[in-house]
Structure 1
């Protein structure tokens, strides 16, 4: 019932199976034909060897088995090759579409996913879970489908000759292909679950260790880091080793059951055909035909036993939010006015934004101040469409932001605390703001961001590699490169999410001055904790518990608002 409910709610496997059922059908049929050709080859070869050993008077008496042996010998690799082409093409289609869908889901709900999952867990989804589902098809669904067909074919084939022996085969195949796999699945489930947990933990721990490596080194705890990572890897190795031992014993049991089938088939064929000079050749034929079937039995058993891996991967993928970017018509936005009307937003049962109203006209500069947890970041996410309000409306140019998802990057640009810079050239990094921009346009944006003196000092100039996360440059330089991206993006609305929080006061002042100078003609919504550069904005809003408690121009607030005066004194800006 649990599996049935999971499949009914599945958004990753079942829809693709329905869309690509023709390819699935032919993959299973070709798998069956491969096994059938292998069994047919052994059957005819056994008959031919036995018949040839009787030294027939005329070669024509064994001519047909010779031709059939060649035919099955050629057919087996042909069917095998065709099956691999069809099945791998089918699986590659699935993997390609699934990866694209996963990237779209992560990209469209980045802020939500970032709040729910650690970086290592996202890497585990991308690198591990989709590969698991690829193996689900290749090692479980295809072999299982072919195995069921084989199960029916063999049972019917023996039933034509002897229905009592058909019942024996029916029971033995049920044990080998149904009972043993199910028992194996149940017995190994906890081990598989533990292995998945440890693998996911390795991803998470590895990313934490890399991102926090400097802190480990600064605290002198490198040995503790290595010891801890080694302990997790040892646990994973032990769990995998236990699973391998379990698999060996399971396969040994299948081999023993298959041996019983071979022996009973040999005795049955001897009793069935020994009284006929011609039919006696079927003793070797039936016995040898069992051996190719054993390989398929093992494949089915292994595939079903591994389904616990897939179950957890399916759950994690289905737990991801749907792609929130829907195909919508391009809307004509004329005045770029940002408006929040009676907006309320909640995380679970906690209200973060409460009945908020805000209007920002084109070209206006506003600053949002407030303590941590007051709702500033949530307010920005509402404007960028990363989250949607519980009630009320967020609009740009009179259009709801949910209807502008596909063109929102043309309207809103975001400069946050630490823009990510890639391990590629300066030109390529800045080009992220506008992929169709020319090199000349990129250079102009870099000059406007105040970076030309820096570029002139670099031996590689604009082609200098920025290294991973832009570590070649200082924090202020990295923020200026991010500003160049914003300039190149040319969006009329710019959101500044504490872009200078990690900079020293002098660099902070210089970067903010550069930002407000080059973005003078744009709308700016700026979240900040202190008041460096506050005189550059037109309006200041104080947010507390999801509502505005104080607002006004910097000049008016400096004269009349005690709280604002206290902040000015703390920042030594008065």
Structure 2
């Protein structure tokens, strides 16, 4: 936390203490004024008290307003710092480190748990600062006038500040600690329900998912009711102690008046000041309950911040080498986040202008290879270099200005076609965006839309077909004009004929740049310089399309099977 934020929090605490002092001053002067006025003195004797009532009344309102203004401003600034810190952590974890968290629970950590941290400043620290200030003033004033009454206030204040909140915390500990997890479970259930609605309905599982969300909601409501009951119990005990304290102060004050130790007019001051001070302690039990919830939310946020980076950034990064770029992999081994070996001794050479295709079944390690080249995943062993410089010695952001990725799960934003394209290059002209669309075969379709490039694509590209969405992602990568381009399953969601045509278009569009094409389809690979067939993380065959067909191995069998399916579909 910066020194400026610390100063703001200190100022808010002082303003709160000032507001509490003004409230006590108002109670004291108003009580004295009422009691003294009952004796019908000369009006001049009441003038100072009347001014005091006005002063303290106005001051209390202004100080409380200022305390809330400064306190909330400081809390929101702290909240912004924490949220940016969490977002920066998520950015470092993405994409390889995020699967360790469920998407809905991750959303709850980033939104609800982070938001709950502001309660530590507004509902825990501030009430205690105000209470300490008001209790100290009350004990000092009442104790000076009636020492016995001061002891009564001191005992009651200690009980309200310690015993009652501790009891409330013990009662609420389990429910408040459970609230953060339950909120995460409900968020997960709702996100799964919304995002997976088509599949849930198609397979008749929507009712079960609704029941799951309903159970999480009912559990959250039960936890909230338990917390409310505990808060009510704490408030009741605090009110009881306040009432007993006032009666005790009144009794001690009456004895002091009878003994001539206290003027009768000041008895009202002693009682009203004691009563006013206990108006400020009603929030203490809830503050302890809030502290328990904030503690648990902080643990969940800290658990997210403590996750190790999927890749280690160099402390002294090497400058990016000059173009043209070549990539070399030797003996590369890497594991999935789950721990399963994904790549086992991969060798790969990408010279400037090369086009290499990596094929193989699902789980063979193709996408893991792309993650290695993008520095989304750390090597377990082996070497990966760019122009002879180890990838691990380069700053990741600098590397990604050279190596671009069009992934099969790339995000399409709920904006226009043009906005999604310009994500690859914000300063691209309309002519350049249209050229990128033409290269992937989307230009004629876009020109046929009423709004053209200004057409909204919907959330996750919901208004596009699967093939159109994939072509848009590839067009965005082409517009980025990366020297090294990785195309991860660009023909996903396309029929075999369209897949072959798009592959040929992409390879022609990427001509002149280093291209790594990852695909499970073999159509359109006749023109690539080299093909690698992966199985279980190893290269089992390598060569041109013609060479691999002539060899009659696994690649040839996959090709024949694919062609047979294509003939039958026609």
TM-score, structure 1 as length reference: 0.89
Aligned: 1:38 with 2:8: no
> Does the CA contact (< 8 Å) of 2:253 and 2:262 recur in 1?
no
Q: Distance in 2 between matches of 1:175 and 1:343?
A: 66
Indicate conservation of the 8 Å contact 1:28/1:143, yes or no: no
**Conserved? CA contact 1:108–1:325, under 8 Å:** no
Change in CA separation of 1:71 and 1:65 when aligned onto 2, cut-off 3 Å: same
Cα distance change, pair 325–297 in 1 and its aligned pair in 2 (3 A): farther
Do the aligned residues in 2 keep the contact of 1:37 with 1:73 (CA within 8 Å)? Answer: yes
Question: Partners in 2 of 1:174 and 1:394 — Cα distance?
Answer: 65
Q: Equivalent of 1:405, from 389, 393, 396?
A: 396
Match of 1:193 among 165, 168, 177: 177
Residue pairs, 1:483-498, within 5 angstroms: 483-498=474-489
Residues 298, 329 of structure 1: CA spacing in aligned structure 2 closer, same or farther, 3 A cutoff?
farther
Residue in 1 aligned with 2:274?
A: 290
The answer as to whether partners of 2:5 and 2:77 remain within 8 angstroms in 1 is no
Q: How many residues align structurally?
A: 558
CA distance in structure 2 between the partners assigned to 1:279 and 1:355 by the alignment = 94
How many Å apart are 1:274 and its aligned residue?
A: 4.8
Q: What secondary structure is seen at the aligned counterpart in 2 of 1:272?
A: helix
* Distance in 2 of aligned mates of 1:143 and 1:209: 40
> Which of 165, 168, 171 is 1:184 aligned to?
168
Match among 36, 50, 60 for residue 51 of structure 1: 36
Q: Which residue of 2 is the match for residue 13 of structure 1?
A: none
Question: Equivalent of 1:381, from 371, 375, 386?
Answer: 371
User: What do the CA deviations read for 1:227-261 (whole angstroms, capped 9, x no partner)?
Assistant: 44333323322332232222222211111111111
Matched, 1:467 2:482: no
Query: What is the Cα deviation at residue 529 of structure 1?
Result: 2.4
Q: 2:193 aligns with which of 204, 209, 212?
A: 209
Q: In the TM superposition, what are the counterparts of 1:433-444 in structure 2 within 5 Å?
A: 433-444=424-435
1:95 Cα deviation after fit: 1.9
Q: How does 1:325-336 map to 2 (within 5 A)?
A: 331-336=320-325
Q: CA deviation at 1:454?
A: 0.3
TM-score (norm. length: structure 2): 0.90
**Secondary structure, aligned partner of 1:20:** helix
Q: Which residue of 1 aligns with 2:14?
A: 29
Query: 1:527 corresponds to which residue?
Result: 518
Secondary structure of 2:99's partner?
A: helix
User: Which residue of the partner structure matches residue 562 of structure 2?
Assistant: 571
* SS of residue matched to 1:572: helix
Unaligned segments of structure 1, at least 5 residues: 1-15
Ranges in structure 2 where 5+ consecutive residues have no aligned partner: none
More moved, 219-228 vs 536-545: 219-228
- 1:116 matches 2:116: no
8 A contact 1:336–1:492 mirrored in 2: yes
> Whole-Å Cα distance in 1 between the matches of residues 179 and 541 of structure 2?
54
What do the CA deviations read for 1:400-445 (whole angstroms, capped 9, x no partner)?
4443223333212211224322222211121111223233332332
- Distance across 1 between alignment mates of 2:145 and 2:381: 73
Q: Which residue of 2 aligns with 1:481?
A: 472
Q: Aligned-pair distance for 1:460? A: 1.5
- Distance in 2 between residues matched to 1:121 and 1:207, nearest whole Å: 9
Name the CA shift for 1:334/1:289 in 2 (closer, same or farther; >3 Å): same
1:129 aligns with 2:118: no
1:207, distance to aligned residue in structure 2 (A): 1.2
**2: CA distance between counterparts of 1:433 and 1:539?**
27
